[in-house]
Amino acid sequence: MDTTRGISSEWIKRAAKATGWEGELTRRGFLKLSACALTSLAFLDLGEAYGENAPLVILDNAQGVILADPTRCVACGRCELACTEYNDGRAQPSLARIKIARAVNFGPSGPTGGEAMHGDWGDGLVIQGVCRQCPHPVPCATACPQNAIVADPQTGARVVDAAQCLGCRLCQQACPWGMIAFDEKAGVAAKCTLCKGKPKCVEACPAAALRYVPWRDLTRDGSPTRPTLSVVPPETAKACLDCHVTAGAKATK
């Protein structure tokens, strides 16, 4: 069996397939998935075997994602409260990993007035903020200089390893959807963990506005809620070369 740095090619193919980049990578013939890149592949659980300091590049796709239907949202915020109370033992919408409070009054574009304004003061629509559990390259994880954003072994949710997080907030800057919360008390970032596959927010919604469904790529739906600061730490950028080659080194077509 072919191996790369001791990993079977079969696993590498499966990993590539999971990212949705399989065709792209193999066709161009520069698939060079490294063991380093694979440390985050949840099903391999290789984190321990291949060293903790390896930079993370590829995260396997999550298994599920939370879908939000704005026409059903009744702006009660029970999802935000379930998120923080049941997970953290405190009621704190600012820490919630689902975002309602910011959209309740005027919607995502704020107190602009006019016809296009959403929320309670506008047309009534409450556009929830939910984590898309982005596919590779995962903006928050890629931006993290500590590689503290990893895939949850059970659900593949991108989760913050609080023990590794420095509290630099680069992930907050990197998320195009403004979905990274910050726990001011602990000084660490916090994000949606999908609650081991049983999201508390989904369970708490009194209007069935939230659903937990098999993952699909929602990053192409709609526009990002904010401009992002794309920061890639040099170590991480280097790891990109494990799979991608610079333009000058590409094989001619």
Partner 1 sequence: MAVGSGGFVGKVLRVDLSTGKITTEDTHERYAGLLGGAGIGYRVLWDEVPAGTGPFDAANKLVFATGPLVGTSVPCNGRATVTTLFPTCWPKPLVGSGHMGGHFAAKLKYAGYDALIVEGQADKPVWLMIRDARVEIRDARHLWGSGIRRATLEISQELGPDCVVAAIGQAGENLAPMGMVINSVSHSAGGVGGIMGGKNLKAVAVQGSGAVRIAGDKAAWEALVKFHLSILGANNQHVVPSFPTPQAEYYNPASRWVGQPGKRWGAAKPPLELPGNIHDPNSIAFRTNSAVYFLGDEAWKYTVRGNGCTACPIRCHTMLKMPSVTAKYGIPDMGQNTCVALMFGRTFFKQLANKKNNETAMEACMVGMHLADDLGLWSNYGQLQRDLRKLYEGGYLKARLGSKEYASIPWDKYDSADPAFLLDLLPRIANRQGELGEVLSRGTGAIFDHWSIPESEWAGDHATTYWKMGHPKHHANEDDGQCGVIINTQYNRDAQCHSHTNFVRNGLPLEVQKKLAAAIWGSPDALDAPGDYTPANVPKARRAKWSLLRKELHDALGVCNWMGPWAASPLRERGYTGDDSLESKFLSLATGQTMDREELDRVAERIFTLHRALTIRDMGRVDMRAAHDIVPPWVFEDPSGKAALTKGTIRMDPADIAKAMDYFYEVMGWDKATGAPSQARYAELGLAEVGEALAAAKLTPEAAK
Could you give the CA distance from residue 81 to residue 96 in angstroms, rounded to a whole number?
Answer: 7
Distance from C-alpha of 149 to C-alpha of 189, rounded to nearest angstrom = 10
Count CB atoms within 10 A of the CB of residue 249.
Answer: 9
User: What is the C-alpha to C-alpha distance for residues 33 and 7, in angstroms, rounded to an integer?
Assistant: 9
The C-alpha atoms of residue 9 and residue 32 are separated, in whole angstroms, by 10
* Shortest CB 228 distance to partner 1, Å: 19
Judged by CB under 8 A, the residue of 72, 169, 235, 241 near partner 1 is 72
What is the rounded distance in angstroms from the CA atom of residue 41 to the CA atom of residue 151?
7
> Residue from 16, 104, 130, 179 that binds partner 1 (CB under 8 A)?
104
Q: Output phi, psi for 95, to 5 deg.
A: -95, -10
Q: Which of 32, 120, 176, 228 binds partner 1 (CB under 8 A)?
A: 120
Q: How far is the CB of 176 from partner 1 (least distance, A)?
A: 19
Contact flag: residue 50 with partner 1 (CB under 8 A): no
Cβ 96 to partner 1 shortest distance, Å: 11
Other CB atoms within 10 A of residue 51 CB: 11
- C-beta separation of 63 from 156 below 8 A: yes
Residue choice 207, 213, 229, 237 for contact with partner 1 (CB under 8 A): 207
Token readout for 101 is 């409070």
Closest to partner 1 by CB, 89 vs 227, is 89
Please list every residue from 9 through 38 that binds partner 1, using CB under 8 A.
none
Q: Which of 24, 28, 30, 124 binds partner 1 (CB under 8 A)?
A: 124
- Near partner 1 by CB under 8 A: residue from 23, 29, 51, 111: 111
Q: What residue type is assigned to position 226 of the chain?
A: R
Which of these, 102, 101, 106, lies nearest to 120 by C-alpha position? 106
The region of 23-31, 42-50, 117-125, 140-148 touching partner 1 under the rule CB under 8 A is 117-125
Per CB under 8 A, the list member of 13, 30, 32, 105 interacting with partner 1 is 105
Please give the residue ranges that form the binding site for partner 1 (CB under 8 A). 71-78, 81-82, 84-86, 89-95, 101-102, 104-106, 110-111, 113, 120-125, 184-185, 203-208
